[in-house]
Structures are given as C-alpha cells and as structure tokens.
Amino acid sequence: MLILEKNDPVPKDRYLIGGANNLLISPTPPPLMMLGKDFAFIEEKDGMLVIGAAMPTGRIVSYAKRHDIAGFEFCAKLPGTLGGMLAMNAGVKNYEIFNILHSIEIDGTWIPKTKIKYGYRYANLGGIATAAKFKMQKGFDQVLLKTLLELRNNQPGEPSAGSAFKNPPGDHAGRLIEAVGLKGTKRGNMQWSEIHANFLVNLGGGTYEDANTLLMLAKEKVKNHYGITLEEEIRHL
C-alpha cells in the first residue's frame, strides 16, 4: 500500500482508496494507494470551509459542531473519509455530500460541482480528489443530528462494507433482500445481517468469494421475484 503525501508524484498505475469502508478486496487487487496525513486538514478561508480528502468524517462533524457550522450533521457515523464520500456522493436519506459541496480539487485543479457528473451514490471525479470546498453557513442542528443518528440504530455492529446495494427507485434494497428470504443467510463466515438485510457482515474470517456469492444470490433472487436489478453500492477491487 502506497501512502501519498503532498508533493509526491502521483502514480498512474495505482487505485486510490479512502477508508476502504465500501470495498470488497479480491485475492488479486490492483496496486493500491491512500492519501497521507498531509491531506487530513480543515481550514476556513474566504467564507469557505476547505477540507482535505483524507479527513475522517467523524472529525468533520466534530469540527462543524464545535464551530456551529450547518450542513454536516448527516456525516455522523458515516464511516471513512471525505474523499470516499466525494467518490460515491455518500449520504443518508435525502442528505448527500454533493448537496452542500462547492468544488473539489482534482489532480491539483479546483473543479466546481456544476462541472462534475454525479447522482445517487455516484460521482465521476475523473482523477485524484485531494480536497473540497463548502460554503460556510452557521447553525449546526443538534435535533437533526439526533434524528439522523437514530436512523442508524437498526444497523449491525459487526464489521461490514456498509450498504451492499443502492435502493432502487421507490423501494429499499433491504426490504427486497428480506422479502426473498435471504435475511440472515450465511456463506462461510459472511452473512446477510439479521438486523438489516442490506448489510453484508463479516462474522470473522469471511472471504471475498463468500461475500460475492451472497451478492450474486441476492441479485438473482430479487430479479427473479420482482424483476428489479439491484445495483451494488459496494465496490470490488
């Protein structure tokens, strides 16, 4: 694993990962790299909050709360780093990182949000994101924070890669997986969670092959029963 620091040349043959919280790593992954501590910063400049892509989401929420900055409440308990959130337009319910985003530094150039193609759990960054800017607004919402945290009470405590599938329009992936009888189903030490069916949890020593088998099984059953093609939120490497 290569750790990239500022002023280092950026290799073209490596795959950048954030906190690796939505990844399934195969036995033969591509060469990987992560942003180092130089990219974990928060600073206020010209009415903007500038955040390094390696900044953990928990620290972003803590900063926003401490300085009474609105808009980042939904990041609470979303694992990983800002870079990972940007790469997949992460969020909770209707709250997504691109909703509050101003621009992203990609390959050393600041690109406005309007020039980036993005959507539900998707963003085409087209390069290495190292920082992002957000317009600062006062008023951290403690009530909203509590409400969003309560939404996460039904998520499993075991290690997982987060939500396995994106919610299809007008429905929920967890409901569909449960409806086809897969909630709690195991392969080896991987399991569709008994708490929330859209979470693929590792009970200890689970393998990529077992995880992929369960993903394919869920896709097949949901497609056969409901005619819905589930789209993975988890990324494979």
Are residues 148 and 95 in contact, defined by beta-carbon separation less than 8 angstroms?
A: yes
pLDDT computed for residue 109 by the predictor:
95
pLDDT computed for residue 76 by the predictor:
86
Both tokens of 27, joined, read: 């036995």
Cβ neighbors of 202 (< 8 A, separation 6 or more) are 158, 159, 160, 189, 190, 211
CB atoms within 10 A of CB 29: 14
Q: Given the residues 103, 160, 163, 193, select the one marked as catalytic.
A: 163
Q: Is pLDDT above 90 for 63?
A: yes
Q: How many helices (H) and strands (E) does the chain have?
A: 6, 18
pTM: 0.85
Alpha-carbon span 144 to 69, nearest angstrom: 13
Tell me, yes or no, if 231 is annotated catalytic: no
Q: Given the residues 73, 96, 105, 233, select the one marked as catalytic.
A: 233
Q: Given the residues 121, 160, 193, 232, select the one marked as catalytic.
A: 121
**In 32-184, where does DSSP find H-type helix?**
57-66, 82-88, 97-100, 142-151, 173-179
- Residues 133-160 have pLDDT tens digits of 999 999 999 998 888 887 776 777 777 8
Q: Is pLDDT above 90 for 78?
A: no
Residue 1: band (very low, low, confident or very high) from pLDDT cuts 50, 70, 90 = confident
Tell me, yes or no, if 121 is annotated catalytic: yes
Tell me, yes or no, if 160 is annotated catalytic: no
pLDDT computed for residue 25 by the predictor:
87
Q: Is pLDDT above 80 for 104?
A: yes
Instruction: Name which residue leads in pLDDT, 132 or 17.
Output: 132
